[in-house]
Chain A
Amino acid sequence: MSAPASAPTWPEEVYQVLRAHEVTQVAYVPDAGHKHLIDSAIADPAVHAIPCTTEEEGVGVVAGAHLGGAVGVLLMQSSGVGNTINFLSLIQHCRFPFLTIVTMRGDYGEQNPWQYAAGQAVEPTLRAMGLITLRADTPEDAVRTVDAAFGMTEVGGQAVAVLLTQRLLGAKKF
């Protein structure tokens, strides 16, 4: 058995990026790759951590946050992207700034064949609904890309999905 690697620091750095951009609503459907962000949001008294029963609710919550003058973000896994498609009409038609961080499955190194259909559909479907997709493959890339994405959403008014890839997260072994 190999010694456990020390916990990576990039998830905390990404959380600090969220807070630096004044995120106060973190809507999520859980995923192991989002564990630190979710736990941090729950522990943070300045942030509403909002577990959703399905990902499209998170799209509504983030839009509502913007309507109320706040900043929200949606955390989901790639399997949940398909659930959001019709609600992304709201984002595109009303031109909401929108940020989601998606942990990828069904891509680099995937061993579970059930994950490929939804995983490979993530970028084409999000783009079809008007989102810009940005992939992050390394820890430095993750922090920098989430930071850059806020400039695109909160200043540039765009809808952006940051994809945390399996190169970054590691592919689960079966």
Chain B
Amino acid sequence: MLERTPTLATLLQGTDDRLIVSGLGSAANDVAYITDFSPRAFTMDGVMGAATSIGLGVALARPEREVLVVTGDGELLMNVGTLATVAVQNPQNLRIIVLDNGLYGLTGGQRTATATVTDLEAMARGAGIRRTMTVRGEEDLGRARELIATPGDTAFVLVKVAPGPAAAVRIDRDGSRLRTSFRTHVLSERS
């Protein structure tokens, strides 16, 4: 099975110009590590279920910028209806990457619904997201990178990863500072 951090690093190669919103927990750690704590990444450590709706707001606000949401299966399941909200808007600059390890990593590793019967790619498709795929092994990574890189309808990439720790970094937990630095970065790029 794919390891989460190197797999995400591979998927994010060549996306240095993208704005990133990451869900709480392991996804935030991996994004902060891979982007070297760049201000273009808004990495949360709370508000479970909010990453995708925040990413939607950013994408609609800045249609000229590509926006990535990076989150986990538990975080997305918390507010999975957001997939329908996104699909209705279908922003052409939004890509959602879900690292699906089938467990709640922050609370003791309890199994999520995806560990047994739930298929988040099918839910994304059912919500109306037009471009979706599941990455199960190395052989799928090229196609996933192409999907992330190709402009067009909102895309959803489910990445099945092995249980295992995220990057061992300490993210900045000062939300006000993260908000200010992200927004300053966005507004400075406009001019």
Residues in A lying within 8 Å of B, measured CB to CB: 24-25, 27, 48, 50-54, 56-70, 72, 86-87, 89-90, 93-96
Whether B60 is near chain A, meaning CB under 8 Å from some CB there, is: yes
Interface centre among A54, A67, A96 (most CB of B within 10 A): A67
Question: How many chain B residues have a CB neighbour from A under 8 Å?
Answer: 38
**A65 CA to B49 CA, complexed, in Å:** 17
**A72 CA to B82 CA, complexed, in Å:** 17
Cβ–Cβ contact B179 & A94, under 8 A: yes
Residues in B lying within 8 Å of A, measured CB to CB: 19, 21, 42, 44, 46-62, 65, 79, 81-82, 84-85, 88-89, 175-176, 178-179, 182-183, 186-187, 190
Interface centre among A27, A61, A72 (most CB of B within 10 A): A61
Q: Given A69-B190, A95-B179 in contact, is the A25-B60 Cβ separation under 8 Å?
A: yes
**A68 CA to B182 CA, complexed, in Å:** 8
Name 14 interchain pairs, CB-CB below 8 A, sorted by A: A50-B88, A51-B88, A53-B85, A60-B51, A61-B53, A64-B21, A64-B57, A65-B58, A67-B54, A68-B57, A68-B65, A69-B190, A86-B47, A89-B47
Residue from A64, A69, A94 in contact with B178 in the complex, judged by beta carbons closer than 8 Å:
A94
Q: In whole Å, how far is B90's beta carbon from the nearest beta carbon of chain A?
A: 11
Q: Given A67-B57, A69-B62, A90-B46 in contact, is the A53-B82 Cβ separation under 8 Å?
A: yes
Q: In whole Å, how far is B60's beta carbon from the nearest beta carbon of chain A?
A: 5
**A2 CA to B48 CA, complexed, in Å:** 51
Chain B positions within 8 Å of A65 at CB level = 57-58, 60-61
Chain B positions within 8 Å of A57 at CB level = 53, 79, 81-82, 85
Cβ–Cβ contact B175 & A52, under 8 A: no
Cβ–Cβ contact A67 & B53, under 8 A: no
Q: In whole Å, how far is B173's beta carbon from the nearest beta carbon of chain A?
A: 9
The closest CB in chain A to the CB of B178 belongs to A94
Residue from A25, A60, A68, A94 in contact with B175 in the complex, judged by beta carbons closer than 8 Å:
A94
The closest CB in chain B to the CB of A72 belongs to B57
**A93 CA to B177 CA, complexed, in Å:** 10
Cβ–Cβ contact B56 & A60, under 8 A: yes
Chain A positions within 8 Å of B57 at CB level = 25, 27, 60-68, 70, 72
